[in-house]
Amino acid sequence: MSLVTDTAGSGGANIEGGARAPMPTASPPPRDASMLGDLRVDHVSFGYGRGRHDLVAAVDDVDFVIPRGSLGVLLGPSGCGKSTLLRLVAGLMHPTAGSIALGALTPEQLRRQRRVGFAFQDPALLSWRTVRRNIELPFDLAKLPVDRAWITQLLEIVGLADWAGRRPRELSGGMRQRVALARALATRPDLLLLDEPFGALDEITRGELNLELLRILSETATTCLLVTHSVDEAVLLGDRIIVLSKRPCAVKLVHDVSEPREGRAAGRDTVTFLEHCRAIRSMLAG
């Protein structure tokens, strides 16, 4: 029988289409729940380039708090620095001023302990891996044993249990985004960062996945920070919306949505929903 070896960063730890090679016996670092808390972005600035005089400012003294377990939204015009700010929170870049922390943990500590999940607009699935094996990828990259029970549960949560053995080419765009979301949740992150994950989808599919995201976050109690250009999406999803200015981005408004997540789907045509949208659009236009 011919076997195709997985070569995408997993060190050949697993074999697609046949028996699996033994996984390393290492365990993830212990997690201390007492270290967790609110996500705090404390007067953060960032500039591209070298030297004080050559820096191009991208983020300017941004300051906000996302309460633990809440969904925060970064909303602003194209090119304002939203994705840069998200990467600073992920620890992929370092602020030139200010600090970022989830409770007592820095972004670097969160990454080392695999407590951060990241999903982009492009799901970037590996074509030769099944749905299940794509979701398992974070374990393979970290050379950790796969938590198969949790992967099975995730497949149920995102509604793909019947598609676990299929390849990405057999899935719709919305289904591929569900796989990417499940992969971002695979290591049970305490912080989920989403960079316009539904931006390329049609309006119907995007609306369905918006509601799926609310349900998933409620089930997993994960703190989330989402980048979007859509005011309606921000109001539907966000517990706290951070309205940003043009580049270099600065905070223009912090807008809280107090309505419970469970009732937001039915409330999109209500006066309250429209008032939230009007307040935010007014600030974006100002």
| Domain boundaries of the chain, sorted by first residue | 69-115+190-286, 126-188
Provide the sign of the torsion angle of the four alpha carbons 129, 203, 162, 155, taken in this order: positive
Quickly tell me which residue has 């469970």 as its tokens.
262
Distance, in Å, from the CA atom of 103 to the CA atom of 38, rounded to the nearest integer, reads 5
**What is the separation of C-alpha 90 from the centre of its chain, rounded to a whole number of angstroms?**
10
Domain 69-115+190-286 belongs to what topology?
A: Rossmann fold (3.40.50)
pLDDT at res. 52: 63
Distance, in Å, from the CA atom of 35 to the CA atom of 95, rounded to the nearest integer, reads 22
Question: Is the bond leading into 77 cis (omega within 30 degrees of zero)?
Answer: no
Measure Cα distances from 144 to 28, 148, 200 in Å. Answer: 7, 12, 32
Q: Write the DSSP string, the chain.
A: ---EE--SSSTT--EETSPPPPPP---PPP--GGG---EEEEEEEEEESSSTTT-EEEEEEEEEEE-TT-EEEEE--TTSSHHHHHHHHHTSS--SEEEEEETTB-HHHHHHTT-EEEE-SS----TTS-HHHHHTHHHHHTT----HHHHHHHHHHTT-GGGTT--GGGS-HHHHHHHHHHHHTTT--SEEEEESTTTTS-HHHHHHHHHHHHHHHHHHT-EEEEEES-HHHHHHH-SEEEEE-SSSB-EEEEEE--S-GGGTTTTTTSHHHHHHHHHHHHHHH-
Contacts of 134 (CB under 8 A, 6+ apart): 125, 126, 168, 179, 183
Both structure tokens of 8: 């995408």
Block means of pLDDT (10 residues each) for the chain, length 286 residues?
A: 33 36 41 75 90 78 95 92 93 93 93 88 92 95 91 91 96 91 91 86 82 84 92 92 93 91 78 90 84
Of 193, 229, 199, the closest CA to residue 80 belongs to 229
pLDDT at res. 25: 36
C-beta of residue 228 within 8 angstroms of C-beta of residue 201: no
pLDDT at res. 17: 38
Provide the sign of the torsion angle of the four alpha carbons 73, 78, 82, 87, taken in this order: positive
Integer Rg of the chain from CA: 20
